[in-house]
Amino acid sequence: MEQVELPEPRAVEVDSRKTALIIVDMQNDFAHPNGRLFVPTAPATIPAIKALLDKARKAGVMIVYTQDWHGYNDPEFKIWGEHAVANTWGAEVVDELKPEPSDTVVKKLRYDAFYGTPLEHILRLAGVENLVIVGTVANICVLHTAGSAALRWFNIYLPIDGISALTDFDMKAAIRQVSFLYRGTITRSDLIRFV
Ligand code: ZN
């Protein structure tokens, strides 16, 4: 089998008026050491996400948070155990990245933030064409959301310092799928310019 080379992060300019920053599942259960499904590499991505968030806010870019959000006895608990239970501390976004009142927050049912949610409608109404996607877990909710967005012909930008996974393999698999399959652009938080 052929060896796969992952693309190097590229410098990009994106149109502020047609772009949304999507922050996927940076909730206590995934990104805080006391969380139930803690991803140990997630806290290290917070400064990059914060920097990108500040930059996006200054440029007037639409900000969208997703929150994994489950009722009691959600079937997903058979796979992962109980996590992101509605209205609990674990389901809240980490303190460092708290949403502002004008941000959009989408509570999601499964890995894909579009599945069963009004996310597509919200983005279309705002005239969004480009999505900068960060958060966790890279090969699960980030990848499913990026893939679902790409199927809807949104352009995907993936800053790799803003995503985290449980293993190096999972991280690479997510980057490979986004770049190869979904034709997204692999970049880094400091290489994105909102124009
Ligand atoms: Zn879940």
Question: What is this structure's pTM?
Answer: 0.97
Exactly one of 25, 74, 112, 161 is catalytic; name it.
25
Exactly one of 29, 68, 74, 108 is catalytic; name it.
108
Pairing verdict, β 163-164 and 19-24:
unpaired
Q: Which two tokens stand for residue 125?
A: 């109404």
- Residue 144's pLDDT is what? 98
Domains and CATH numbers, the chain: 12-194 (3.40.50.850)
Instruction: Say if CB 187 and CB 9 are below 8 A apart.
Output: yes
Cβ atoms within 10 Å, residue 45: 24
Residue 141 is a catalytic residue? yes
Instruction: Say if CB 97 and CB 136 are below 8 A apart.
Output: no
Mean pLDDT of 86-108: 98
Give the bridge partners for 158, in sequence order: 186
Residue 95 is a catalytic residue? no
**Burial (CB count within 10 angstroms: exposed 0-12, middle 13-18, buried 19+), residue 58:** exposed
State the distance from the centre of ligand 1 to the C-alpha of 159, rounded, in angstroms: 23
Query: What digits encode the pLDDT tens for the residues 16-49?
Result: 999 999 999 999 999 999 999 999 999 999 999 9
pLDDT bin (cut points 50, 70, 90) of residue 175 is: very high
